[in-house]
Amino acid sequence: LIIRWEITSPAWYERRLRFPVWPGGASGVTWGVGYDGGHQTRAVIEDDWQAHEHRGRLGETAGITGSRAKTALPAYRDIATPFPYAAEVFEGRSLIEYERLTERAFRNGFEALRPNACAALVSLVYNRGAAMTGDSRREMRTIRDQCVPAQDYACIAREIRSMSRLWRGTVNENGLTARRESEAQLAETP
């Protein structure tokens, strides 16, 4: 699910995402399988991408987000990351870390969820992060506080779908609403 929504396919990746991009909004300079340098520290980037010949330059993107990342992007557009290496970092580093973040975020009862519901929540956290404060995170708190402890899969799916309110009327509405729908359907699947 994450691969589908972050890069579409390995072939599309090689054609369009082999070099860093800026997805827009609060994102940072992004490469690999949705790896957002703006939301990492330099040390984490350099550790995750330790075999990348340009890991030092990639590390420079740490903490640069939003319009600053858009402005910075041209300085990194020459850095190629072939899909096999991007997939290796995704599976061996990013996915493991996001599984940990998701388990911490939804804690009470997460380990007892069906695997598909866990996967849906990992996809959600991979895209949105694990923060729980503010109105934009109210559905995340409901999932954490009510749905997960009750093992209520319909509740998880309903709250994931409800997040679409955040992108109504924006350029990201169609894509993020479809992504949330995919996650909700996965959460409902036994």
Percent of the chain topping pLDDT 70: 100
- For residue 1, the model assigns a pLDDT of 94
Question: For residue range 142-164, what is the model confidence (pLDDT) as tens digits?
Answer: 999 999 999 999 999 999 999 99
Question: For residue range 10-26, what is the model confidence (pLDDT) as tens digits?
Answer: 999 999 999 999 999 89
- For residue 171, the model assigns a pLDDT of 87
Question: For residue range 28-48, what is the model confidence (pLDDT) as tens digits?
Answer: 999 999 999 999 999 999 999
- For residue 71, the model assigns a pLDDT of 98
Does the structure show a pLDDT above 90 at 67? yes
Render the chain in DSSP notation, one character per residue: -HHHHHHS-HHHIIIIISS-B--STT-B-EETTTEEGGGS-HHHHHHHTTT-TTHHHHHTTTT-BHHHHHHHGGGTTT----HHHHHHHIIIIIHHHHHHHHHHHH-TTGGGS-HHHHHHHHHHHHHH-S---SGGGHHHHHIIIIIHHHT-HHHHHHHHHHGGGGGTTSTTHHHHHHHHHHHHHHHH--
Residues 61-86 have a mean pLDDT of: 98
The model's pTM: 0.92
Give the CB-side neighbour count of residue 73, counting CA atoms within 13 A.
18
